[in-house]
Amino acid sequence: MKLKLQTACLLFLIALGLFFVLSCSKKSNGIMGTWKMIVDKSSDIDPWRNFKLEISGNDSVLTITKARSAGRDAEQRSMKLLLGGVKNQIVVHGPKWADNLHIAVFLKPNSTKTVTAKWLNIDKTLEVKSQITLETSQGEAPVSIESVYKVARSGNELVLRQRRSSRSKAMVYYFKRM
């Protein structure tokens, strides 16, 4: 009887351990998921107060959705990207350029931007390069934007480092997994 009880307890503990291991392994440490910007740690995104980023897809196709808000003002933009250096043509809706609202720079309504994306480290580091033409008071200005999305080893933090041809200093945004 005592041996049966010990065997039953041992089997229960093994099953419990296996359940724990399997449930922990389902949690993603990769780039896919929903992320919320850590405002105090990040480059300024004024006037926006909130910035959420959602990344979904697989090794060859991704959708990146950026949602920003401040008070009653909000905007959300998504782009579906074929990876591996494919030149994606993404329609942009103007006139506001949500990435930088305080300067006299606008998007041409219904124009396109060319975007290429590739994994630098699958599901951990993503490089996205964009070419867009903006309208300024001096005329049209082509702008190149290089964005690198990198997940920390813990899987709980994502860093977005963005360089623009129109700026000398990179912008860095920190996100926590939601």
pLDDT tens-place string over residues 31-63: 999 999 999 999 988 788 899 999 999 989 999
Q: Does 1 reside within a domain?
A: no
Banded pLDDT at 134 (limits 50, 70, 90): confident
- Please tell me the total number of residues recorded for the chain in this structure: 178
pTM over 0.95: no
Q: Is 60 helix (H, G, I), strand (E, B) or coil?
A: coil
Looking at 48-57, 96-105, 155-164, 167-176, which range is the least confident one? 96-105
Answer whether residue 11 is part of any domain. Answer: no
Contact predicate 81/107, CB 8 Å: no
Distance CA 150, CA 141 (A): 29
Instruction: Flag whether 99 is in a domain.
Output: yes
Assess if residue 13 is contained within a domain.
no
CATH code for position 86: 2.40.128.20
* CA-to-CA separations, 162 to 41, 99, 121, 156, 178, in angstroms, rounded: 15, 11, 18, 20, 22
Under a CB-based contact definition with an 8 Å cutoff, are residues 80 and 65 in contact?
no
Q: Tell me the percentage of the chain whose pLDDT exceeds 90.
A: 55
Residue 9 in any domain: the answer is: no
For the chain, the maximum distance between any two Cα atoms, rounded to a whole number of angstroms, is: 90
Number of domains in the chain: 1
Residue 130 burial (C-beta neighbours within 10 Å; 0-12, 13-18, 19+): buried
Which residues are paired to 144 by β-bridges?
A: 131
Taking only the tens place, the pLDDT of each residue in 79-88 is 999 999 999 9
Per-residue pLDDT of 93-127, as tens digits, reads: 776 665 665 566 788 777 899 999 999 999 999 99
Residue 10 is assigned to a structural domain of this protein: no
Q: Report d(CA 141, CA 44) in Å as an integer.
A: 23
Residue 16 lies in a domain: no
Compute the C-alpha angle 96/101/106, nearest 5°: 40
C-alpha to C-alpha distances, 165 to 48, 80, 142, 143, nearest whole angstrom: 22, 23, 9, 6
Peptide bond before residue 109 is cis, with ω within 30 degrees of 0 = no
Residue 17 included in any domain: no
User: Would you place residue 147 in the very low, low, confident or very high pLDDT band (cuts 50, 70, 90)?
Assistant: very high
Instruction: For residues 170 and 63, give the distance between their C-alpha atoms in angstroms, rounded to a whole number.
Output: 24
Q: Per the structure block, which two tokens stand in for 6?
A: 């010990």
Cα atoms found within 13 Å of the Cα of residue 140, Cβ hemisphere only: 7
Give the domain range for residue 143: 30-177
